[in-house]
Every structure is written in C-alpha cells, then in structure tokens.
Amino acid sequence: MHQDIENMIKLWGAKYNEEADTAPNLTQRTVYSELGETFTRNDIYTICMRQGIKTQIRRIVFDWKKQGFIEAIDKETFKKIKR
C-alpha cells in the first residue's frame, strides 16, 4: 500500500508540473496582457507594483521563457512570441 501511495504522489506531481509548465498563472497572464510587444523588466515591475503583485520579476521572466511566451532581445528587454 505504501508503494501505491508513492506512485500516486509521483503521478500527481508530474501532472501538476506539466500543467504549471504550459500555462502561466492568472497573475502572470494579467501582467503579460498589459505589456506591449516588447518590454523591459522595469515595465513588468511597474505593472506588478500597480496591481500589488509581489512575485519576483526574475521568476516571472523565467516562467515565461520556459513556457515559450517570450524571448530575450538583450539582458533587460524582451519580446512576446505568444499571445
């Protein structure tokens, strides 16, 4: 029975990670939708401050890159590649 529970937890964890990797959360979608086609970390920061969002900017950028929503133009500037 212990092994069954471990397998269920592994399956749930894999499914959870898969979902997290393919869709930004609501907070991040809100910020993303307010940005122009190109934007900077400072633009993200400004929107987050206005909306009271406390997620670290580097975490948002990391998630969006991983999910294929943005690509870097340079260290501070990015462009949207998905809408």
Tens-digit pLDDT string for the chain (83 aa): 667 877 777 766 665 555 544 445 777 888 999 999 999 999 999 999 999 999 899 999 999 999 999 999 999 999 999 76
Domain edges within the chain: 25-83
Q: What is the pLDDT of residue 29?
A: 86
The CATH number of the structural domain formed by 25-83 is 1.10.10.10
Q: What is the pLDDT of residue 8?
A: 72
The two tokens of residue 12 are 């749930």
Q: What is the pLDDT of residue 23?
A: 47
Alpha helices, DSSP H only, in 1-83?
2-22, 26-34, 41-51, 57-66
Q: What is the pLDDT of residue 18?
A: 54
Q: What is the pLDDT of residue 60?
A: 94
